[in-house]
Structure 1
Amino acid sequence: MIIVFDAQCLLCNGWVQFLLRHDKREQFRFASMQGRCGQALLNAAGLPTEGLQTLLLVDGERSWQHTAAILHVLHRLGWPWRLAWLAWPVPAPLRDSAYRWVARHRYRLFGRSEACLLPAERWRHRFLD
């Protein structure tokens, strides 16, 4: 599974760091939306390559965005992260509107880096760009 994320967003970088620490089975690989692979995956999913306000989870031909992507990722991490599925009964429009609000304001709330995330050597094999 590949997670396409905004490498300039400090919230997104924190999410990737969290996954690198907790994904013991190394199920996830990462592509920044600013990179060549990330751009290709966004195009394949029919998403804009500029101004995107979601992360994208890609598993072969399937993909998820917004809270569905987050819930699928947390499910794959196993216990206790699977408890996130308790949020699934909340209607997607409500979950996703909160997600989109945070995404729209992520730079103001969490900051922005002018340089993309450079992973530690031990994790470089998990990044596509």
Structure 2
Amino acid sequence: MNGTARAPILLYDGVCGVCNGAIRAILRFDHRGTLRFAALDSDVARDIIARHPHLEGLDSVVFVRNPNQPDEAVSTETAALLEVADYLGGYWKLARAARVVPGFIRDRLYAAFAAVRYHVGGKYDACPIPAPEVRSRFLDASYG
């Protein structure tokens, strides 16, 4: 089995301006180049949600470890963001300090921001097309 099959996947709101900005930042700092992405309304996300029914109706970032494997695991909201920071490594690991704040408090802050994210960063009519050099890392995309 190759490493790409087990590479993590980040599910995100594909029409959210803030979310797309975060994805662009992650792409800049992902020196391994293995993290893959899928919009929450994609077939890939629907398959993952089917395997994790508690995600149904969730409007949050989801970090998927070991996708399509028996040990597949998902993290959501701030736990997912901390997984991304761990994945990126380097100075991003300083975000681990946020773990001293109880998860329910972090997630309430996340939810408060998520509620206004379209006002802060705007909303696209459709998922933006990724740059050609990273397009292969976006799953379930039909970018002619």
Q: Secondary structure at the match of 1:80?
A: helix
Structure 1 residue 103, shift from structure 2 partner: 1.1
1:69 aligns with 2:80: yes
Structure 1 residue 29, shift from structure 2 partner: 0.2
Task: State the match for 2:120 in structure 1.
Answer: 109
Q: How many residues align?
A: 127
Structure 1 residue 16, shift from structure 2 partner: 0.7
Task: State the match for 1:56 in structure 2.
Answer: 62
1:88 aligns with 2:111: no
TM-score (norm: length of structure 1): 0.92
The alignment's C-alpha RMSD in Å is 1.2
Q: Which has more radius of gyration?
A: 2
Deviations along 1:68-97, one digit per CA (max 9) or x if unpaired, are: 110111011111110000110101111010
* Structure 1: runs of 5 or more not aligned: none
Structure 1 residue 48, shift from structure 2 partner: 2.2
Letter in 2 for 1:37: V
Cα distance in 2, alignment partners of residues 121 and 101 from structure 1: 34
Q: Does structure 2 retain, via aligned residues, the 8 Å contact 1:2–1:30?
A: yes
Deviations along 1:9-66, one digit per CA (max 9) or x if unpaired, are: 00110111011111010131001112111222223222225xx321000012111001
Counterpart pick for 1:19 among 11, 19, 26: 26
Q: Does structure 2 retain, via aligned residues, the 8 Å contact 1:53–1:104?
A: no
Structure 1 residue 117, shift from structure 2 partner: 1.9
